[in-house]
Structure 1
Amino acid sequence: MATASSSSAPADASTGLTKLPFPPVTKQHILNCSFHAWHPRYRAITPKARLVPLSPPFLSYLRADGIILPPDENDRTDWSDSDSGIFSSTDNASEAEEDEDDDPSTQWRDVHEAVRATIEELGGKVVPKLNWSAPKDATWIAATNSMECRTPNDIYLLLKSSDFVTHDLEHAFDDCDEDTPVDQTVTQKDSILSSDSIPYHLVLRKHITLNPSVEFRCFVRRRKLIAVCQRDLNYFEFLFKMQDKLRDRIQEFFQVRLQDSFPDENFTFDVYVPPPHDRVWLVDINPWAQRTDPLLFSWLELLTLPEPPEPSTSEVVSPPLGSQSKYGQDPASAKSTREDQGDQTDSESEDDEEGEEMFAPEFRLVHRDDPEAYGFTTPQYSAHKLPRDVVDASRGGEGSMREFADKWKEVLAKQHEEDGQDSGD
């Protein structure tokens, strides 16, 4: 049964907890979940993407107030190759200097050209994100009202308008415990884990049309997959008929690809399982922290759900040749004894294997009558990786404009009423 998520609740009154029992969240854990850190390892199982390293001048541009975009390349004319000196007057030279002053990309031309080339390489349409977050909260300002970008300016407009991106830039290590280096003389690690020296990257993914009904968020605790749920909080009837198949595919994918290779034992990850639902794609990796939206779970549930049993270690191990076994015999003569015990040992092993196979992650879907099915009580951005107050604040841009529009309509309506009364008098 689906339940409403409550990621902002600090405790559970029924248990008497005043703080959720999270393990310490370190800066290194946050960095391990950065796209640039894990993508090279899992590139073959991730949708096509390219990374553009961001220079300090470009980061300063993102942090600066106001939105100033580079001049549109289509509006530029390169007179140097066509005028043969006819139009190279002093006035034109001064205009060129003014244009250059109005172009913020002159300070980060290398990034600008890399972004342009990457868009072309990926087919002309891309979806941007920073190390952790995509500017989903800023799509209201885009001409397409979506994350689809076709020019560098489309990307800059989204990044500059997004509170999610601002959080990546200014608050990536909020609520983190300090990492303790093994050797106090190691200063390089400390410098790498400071906010000012995070290796920021612009991630550009090839734009493809995804079916949101088959995107899932998965929760890993102590290297064990304990829970899976929908990312899109709408009711999809067909998911219930293939729930077991989806669970098996995702669990197999985790065990083969992620269980032993990701550096942290606790994390969450998002997957996409397109038809015919035989292959799983890794979309994102998120921190095991309260900033990650638990969607159809609560974090208290995820911290206390049962785990799979540990692998059995009760198998009989043959002692070295020439030594006595636990039956007081050498290995050769003990062979018949072990055969006599075979039926019992086999049955115990089968019981152990059945016990391990019987465990399945909690798989939660939105039911028809759940409030989540209609999206009235859930966050607008179900896949955000930020505290809820940041998500609420991110709605300010669009909300403020709507509020202004509503008030303006009220003013006009009131004015019409007064004009009507005056004309009646």
Structure 2
Amino acid sequence: MEDGQFAEIKITVDDILSCSYSNWYSKFKDYTFSEAAIYKPLSKEFIEYLESDGIELPKDTKKDSVLFQDVSPNSDNEYSDWENDDNEKETDESIKKFEDFHLTLREKIKEFGSVAPKLNWSAPQDSVWIMTGRNMRCYSTTDLFLLLKSSDYLNHDMYHAFDEACDFDKSNPPKFELELVLRKWVEINPSMEFRCFVRDRQLIAISQRDLNYYNFLDELKDELTEKIGIFFDDILLSKNEANSFVFDVYVPKPFNKVYLIDINPFQRSTDPLLFSWNELATMSVSEDDIKFRLVTEHNSGRFATKAHSQNHVPKDFLDASVDTQSMVDFLKKCKELELNGDSESESESESKENPK
């Protein structure tokens, strides 16, 4: 490969389809860490709701959401959008188009207690900034719909899932059913989650999943490599037909069991974490020499920026999101700035039309 060129990564439509959640979950359900409910095919009305501009939420579940609290009217919040009865009626109408599905989702969230959502391949990790816990934990359909509607990552599954496939034909796109997955929320230790890369049916690399420095991981590297390697050889390889893929695992103490978290396509749109895709496409690795990469004390500064930071918002908004009154104050400030900006624009226009 010449300098400056990207290494070719060959992935097929079938490889990508095999990584769709519903395609692998039934095979490996006994090895996953949390229960999941899969809904497919999704109705045209619900897909249109996901595609539509704006964010309309079910008002009847806001009381169960961690994001909404009752606000008593006062002079500081007299124009709050969520106090408008007309807006609430509009919200109800948008949800009524898939009312039965909404009720099904609400009951499933109630059964699970809380959930983390995703579509076939992608999870809305880019919109966790809007959640008070800065994670994907949803306690209600209000939380769920807000998280889904705020995400750009889900557009990948809806419109670009096969863009990197070598046999993808735009004139004859593959048929697949969009699905919504609700995974029961389970607390895990992020330091023990790892992303594993498989190329040509061989496990070639393992990366720490959470990019923070944990001083105890280095001494566990050999043991973790062995446990993950056995899990790959004995469980994954025999039941997963994809030639190349990426899988995430969780290995909690006492390290006697490996849990499968997710399976992703071996393609550039999947985050390579501590590797680069050129490395993964070209590295030569023997079966007994899997590359295991960790954040170390010496390189931790390189990963100081949090994941998905490009989707973050001003600190004032983050502070306000954990308190309703603060949110009201923040929106009022934004409104005042908007009005002042309009006034200044009008003044500038008048000055140009009536120069002295």
Query: Quick one: which of 15, 22, 27 aligns to 1:41?
Result: 27
Q: Secondary structure of 2:59's match?
A: coil
Q: 2:13 aligns with which of 4, 22, 27?
A: 27
In the alignment, which residue of structure 2 is the partner of 1:261? 239
- Decide whether aligned partners of structure 1 residues 402 and 157 sit closer, same or farther in structure 2, where only a CA change above 3 A counts: closer
Question: What does residue range 2-401 of structure 1 map to in structure 2 within 5 Å?
Answer: 15-16=2-3, 18-23=5-10, 25-46=11-32, 47-53=34-40, 54-73=42-61, 99=89, 102-122=92-112, 124-179=113-168, 193-194=173-174, 197-308=175-286, 359-371=288-300, 374-376=303-305, 380-381=307-308, 392=310, 395=311, 398=313
Question: CA offset at residue 260 of structure 1?
Answer: 2.5
Bigger radius of gyration: 1
Deviation at 1:22, TM superposition (A): 1.4
Q: How many residues are matched?
A: 299
Name the CA shift for 1:21/1:157 in 2 (closer, same or farther; >3 Å): same
Q: For 1:142-186, what per-residue CA distance to the aligned partner results, in whole angstroms no more than 9, with x for missing partners?
A: 244321111111100000000111222222222333358xxxxxx
CA 1:365–1:261 in 2, change beyond 3 Å: closer, same or farther?
same
Q: How many Å apart are 1:43 and its aligned residue?
A: 0.8
CA distance in 1, matches of 2:195, 2:127: 23
Kept in 2, the 8 Å contact 1:70–1:103? The answer is no
Distance 1:125 1:107 in 2: 24
- Structure 1 residues 239-289: Cα deviation after superposition (integer angstroms, max 9, x where no partner): 111111111100000001111221111111110001111110111111111
How many angstroms apart in 1 are the aligned matches of 2:254 and 2:91? 53
Distance change >3 Å, CA 366–CA 57, structure 1 → 2: same
Contact 1:249–1:280 (CA<8 Å) still a contact in 2? yes
- 1:198 CA displacement: 2.8
Deviations 1:321-371 (A, max 9, x none): xxxxxxxxxxxxxxxxxxxxxxxxxxxxxxxxxxxxxx1311111110104
In 1: Cα distance, 2:147 partner to 2:104 partner: 18
Tell me: CA distance 1:36–1:101, structure 2 relative to 1, closer, same or farther (3 Å). same
Unaligned runs of 5+ in 2: 64-84, 319-329, 338-356
Structure 1: segments with no counterpart, 5+ residues:
1-11, 76-94, 181-189, 310-358, 382-390, 413-425
The structure-2 alpha-carbon separation of the partners of 1:252 and 1:72, relative to structure 1 and needing over 3 Å to count, comes to same
Identity of aligned residues (%): 40
Instruction: Note if contact 1:235-1:373 (Cα within 8 Å) is conserved in structure 2.
Output: no
Question: Alpha-carbon deviation of 1:101?
Answer: 7.4
Name the aligned partner's letter for residue 145 of structure 2.
Y
Alignment TM-score, normalising by the size of structure 1 = 0.64
TM-score, with structure 2 as normaliser: 0.75
Give the 3-state SS of the residue equivalent to 1:41 in structure 2. Answer: helix
